Amino acid sequence: MIESTKVPEAGSRFPGIASIVVFLIILAIGAWFRFHDIGIKPLHHDEGVNSYFLLNLARFGEYKYDPTNYHGPMLYYFALISMKLMGETELALRFWPALFGMLTILLLVEESAVSADAMRFHRPTLDHLLSASILIVFIYIFLYSSTFKNWQGVIDFFRSIWHWASQRGNRDHVHPFYYYLGMLIKLELPLLLGTALGGLIILIRGTRFWLFTAAWTFGTLMAYSLIPYKTPWLMINFLIPMALLCGYAAEQIFRSLQRAAMKGIWAFILLGWIIFSGVISHRLNFREYDDNRNPGGYFTEFGEKYKFKPYVDQQYGYVYAQTDRDLLELVKALKSETEKLPTGDETGIYIASPDYWPLPWYLRSYGKVAFSGSLNVIPGQSISIQQPLMIANLNQQPLIDGTPGWNLIQRSFTLRPGVELILFKREDQSINIKE
């Protein structure tokens, strides 16, 4: 934890400068992990859906808040800015989540380090509270009304609370109360133990900031556990404050050690753990980013014996199923075929597979894509699709093979575990291949 100090005496500036340097190094590492090769990881299913709404907003100025659909409007309007500046790129799409993720590092700076002097001269007053309230209401109305064009969105915000608190429609996402605790035990046991220790220390001698952090951690964990609808990526809402509490516990242990040798040993242990975590993070972010295998975790035999869902799932718990990098090979194969045709990016493409997200993002440059999600076969009749190219599911191949006029291109491509896509080209003498 980086804390402010009193005005240093002559010759005592080094500790403050050292703290700033360490903080900047941490910030630089965080920025590198967030922004380096930001497009290497294929878009996740839900990320692809978000990109669809963003493209509609950027291209046609259309966005209406839907209380049953994903999240609020702020991300779309922020991403609209980056997309206008950077174009329709993965960097523009992911810029704001990456930036705010990096800025969580600022939570290392204790409140007193940045605001104590300012607060001394600017005590909050009723006028400040009123001004802040008016600003919050304005921002809320501005965003949820789609910049004052959809007033129903202002009301729908309150409907969303009930919808997601009582969400039971999709049984795949309904889990028992202890689901998140099972995930933490399996995948984040050291963090969980450090959080518990940090919380205990805070109850004994915690400052206002750390009491708030403890309440933030355990409050969000309890709230998300009570809601029947659970998805593993929502864990980020309490993993961040958990990391802070774990760091607080490590700091307090260091301060409690009296002998310099013991402090050195503890610092060496922490440094080793940081290096180990960095290596794992690098491997996950840049090498194994689409590895969907569910790791063993802690207490695997116990979890499997009692059928805890985080242990018996076939896929990696945090994301359910990450898009495979092989999808990008399908996109390349499709581009290779369209480049052979005089129609180029205006070539008709028919999407027959019911599973296709995030393909709308990767096919955004094509002007004539039909996302049907089925073959629309009439019993007793052959497939009638006019587009020269078709992406289908591997399960649909027998039906397509039984229809003359379609040729398989290359091989099957993995979208995500259990979903294989195939590319077909229609035989049509009226379509002239480029010389």
What are the tens digits of pLDDT across the range 131-160?
999 999 999 999 999 999 989 989 988 888
- Inform me whether the pLDDT recorded for 163 exceeds 50: yes
Closest Cα partner for 242 from 182, 288, 199? Answer: 199
382: helix, coil or strand?
coil
What are the tens digits of pLDDT across the range 70-93?
678 999 999 999 999 999 999 999
- pLDDT at residue 432, rounded to an integer: 41
358: preceding bond cis by omega (within 30 degrees): yes
Using the Cα atoms of residue 172, residue 225, residue 291 and residue 423 in order, give the sign of their dihedral: positive
- pLDDT at residue 15, rounded to an integer: 55
- Inform me whether the pLDDT recorded for 356 exceeds 60: yes
- Inform me whether the pLDDT recorded for 8 exceeds 80: no
DSSP assignment letter at 106: G
Q: What is the DSSP string of 156-200?
A: HHHHHHHHHHT--S-GGGB--TTHHHHHHHHH-HHHHHHHHHHHH
Greater model confidence, 164 or 202: 202
Closest Cα partner for 207 from 116, 127, 144? Answer: 116
* CA-based end-to-end distance of the chain: 65
DSSP assignment letter at 71: S
Greater model confidence, 167 or 13: 167
What are the tens digits of pLDDT across the range 275-334?
998 998 898 889 888 887 767 777 777 777 767 777 777 666 676 778 999 999 999 999
- Inform me whether the pLDDT recorded for 103 exceeds 50: yes
Predicted TM-score of the model (pTM): 0.81
- Please state the domain extents for the chain: 1-155, 166-256+290-323, 326-426
Encoded tokens for 118: 């300012």
- pLDDT at residue 166, rounded to an integer: 67
